[in-house]
Amino acid sequence: MVGRRLKAGDRHRLYEAAVQTPEVEVELLGRAYQERFGAPALSLREDFCGTALLAKTWVESDDDRIAWGIDLDPEVLAYGRRHHIGPLDEDESDRIELRAADARTRSERTFDVITAGNFSWALFDDDALGEYLTSAHDCLEDRGLLALEIFGGADLRRPLVHEHPKDGFDYLWEQVSYDEETRRLEASIHFRLADGTMVRDAFRYSFEVRDWNETRALVTAAGFSVVELWVERDGGGFARKSEEPAAAAWSGYVMAFTR
């Protein structure tokens, strides 16, 4: 069982096991691009990439695919190089690049797909988010997709703790506080290991909570011609929605296309 092999210092491995499903995301991004443009997506930039597990899975999924991972944190990039990029074969490792950079910085090449997972883009205030979206638009191919993982619902605006049993450990998502004036949600991730050890505040976040209409307006203002909301179904998969769901909590993706 995964959790019994993990220690309190293994916060990145715990995070990957708790919240990441890279194979599902690779399939979803490829399908969204294929459905819109009738061609396969070959190049990916994973913004706020953390350990770059998604970028690594992308290059493994097709011999013609390349990926970049962008993150400000050199420590987490070093973890990704050691644990994910290092074990790849020579061809795969040649097709992936990790960079320590601000995701708002324009890259010198363009991509079919740019993605920001785990609600990372919601760390930005409106001005910074506008910069990011405009830069991302400029870094996409003429036929390009920006995919932003999004969450919503009234539950985001109150303190709570959700506990999720995993394989040998528990993942706890805590919404510590919400400020009505600034609309900032302070949140933390904790883990409880199989031996009872608590790993508190393994990751801490400060998100700005926006509704779907606000988010869509910001993405559209950055130049994207088609902006869709894909909401995750309870039983798996995603459904396109014209309006924000009425559920107390929901998650999905903003799928923004350059044309």
pLDDT digits (tens, 9 = 90+) for 77-107: 999 999 999 999 999 999 999 999 999 999 9
Whether pLDDT at 44 is above 50: yes
235: confidence class by pLDDT, cuts 50, 70, 90: confident
Mean pLDDT value of segment 138-152: 98
Half-sphere exposure of 243 (CA within 13 A, CB side): 3
Residue 164 has pLDDT above 80, yes or no: yes
pLDDT for 1 equals 38
In this predicted structure, the answer to whether residue 216 has a pLDDT above a threshold of 90 is: yes
Spell out the residues 6+ positions from residue 206 whose beta carbon is closer than 8 angstroms to its own: 123, 184, 185, 186, 187
Q: Is the dihedral of CA 22, 79, 81, 13 positive or negative?
A: negative
Do the beta carbons of residue 179 and residue 75 sit within 8 Å?
Answer: no
DSSP symbols for 102-160? -TTSPPSS-EEEEEE-TTGGGGS-HHHHHHHHHHHHHTEEEEEEEEEEEEESGGGGS-E
The share of the chain scoring above pLDDT 70, in percent, equals 97
Helix (H) or strand (E) holding 25: helix 22-37
> 185, 256, 183: which is closest to 217 by C-alpha?
256
pLDDT at residue number 127: 97
Contact (Cβ atoms closer than 8 angstroms) between residue 17 and residue 207: no
Least-confidence region, from 3-17, 61-75, 180-194: 3-17
List of residues 6+ apart from 185 with CB closer than 8 A: 156, 157, 175, 177, 178, 205, 206, 207, 208, 209
Q: Once rounded to an integer, what is the mean pLDDT over residues 139-157?
A: 97
CB 116 within 8 Å of CB 149:
yes
Residues 162-189: what's their mean pLDDT? 97
For helices 212-221 and 126-138, what crossing angle results, to 10°? 50
Specify the pLDDT at position 4: 45
Give the model's pLDDT for residue 9: 72
> How far, CA to CA in Å, does 195 sit from each of 9, 27, 70, 137?
14, 35, 35, 47
Q: Which CATH number fits domain 2-153+211-257: 3.40.630.30, 3.40.50.150, 3.40.1710.10, 2.60.40.1120?
A: 3.40.50.150
CA distance 44 to 64: 11
pLDDT digits (tens, 9 = 90+) for 5-39: 656 579 999 999 999 999 999 999 999 999 999 99
Tokens 């601000």 found at = 102
CB hemisphere CA count around 90 (13 angstroms): 0
Domain spans of the chain, in order of start? 2-153+211-257, 154-208
> How far is Cα 16 from Cα 56, in angstroms, rounded to an integer?
13
Task: Share the mean pLDDT of the chain.
Answer: 95
Mean pLDDT of 35-54: 98
